[in-house]
Structure 1
């Protein structure tokens, strides 16, 4: 009996020794991807707030869980308070306001790319010919402004121009940025959302949801 208890405690200790460094490295990687070195203090501060919010959601292991594992208590929000209409029996767990959906789109302007040669064809008239071609200029543009919502079933964007619902099964990965999120779908292009005032608790819930569905 004593040997069994010691074995279980040893397993729990080994799990925590691996899990905690993994969580720290994961958040460091997520925070630093796509961020300039000059923004490192901002990343660290934001990450600290997310870690604190995440820790508040972690509950003490219960008797029905394996030794060394931890459970997360997801907040359940009243959808009527946020004006959200749940799909089926899903639960609303987090809301992030002031979000802009970003898309890489044409500006409507054109520009010549490549070289060309000017050939005189008449007095005062010249014809340009060469290997160049005309291409549209593209840049990141905000196409819809609204909010992000997390439910136990999906990642949802509600905007003034368009809405989008991405079920967790359709999510391949989500990159955490200091000013937004980029959602990689299993099919189709990624979705990019810029956030004016990121809520660390929203990011913490999102991270826990990814752990849960992953």
Structure 2
């Protein structure tokens, strides 16, 4: 016979990985019917369980008259299946323009598609720019670092609908509004060396055009 020293989970086997069958409340008694081979779990009479038996942790009980309690062998729990390895996404190699494509017109959230674009020279018409992106109400952010010789450069963006263009974080074209196909231009002097060009674009509806020269 044993007495529970605290509220105890009664389990289907001798270990915490086994299913909980019920509760043996503090000071409640139970008849001992066996002990686990490691001596850490008592098997007890537990009405309502399959076979009328359950298991409680020995360390949370007080027991007496246990000299002749039989050792009970139990079937080990089935091994957990090995998880099937999931394929990892192939990293995107960016060598030219990094294009980040969003399925909304304001570049919010994470991009649906990230890819290498050899140039910004797109006339999608009424089609979609990429898989997973709708033909309307999408946006794109392009970025690239380019080595320039010193001099004054003219940048021209032809878009339908809106566009923003930065050179080294300086906004040089600010035309973030709906429009038919329109070309915007800006002149800027660049020193010799590397400069970062960023272009943001959104398409509201109908034809979609995004070009930078």
Q: TM-score range by the shorter chain?
A: under 0.3
TM norm structure 2: 0.17
Structure with more of its chain in helix, by fraction = 1
- Identify the structure with bigger relative contact order (alpha carbons < 8 Å, sequence gap 6+): 1
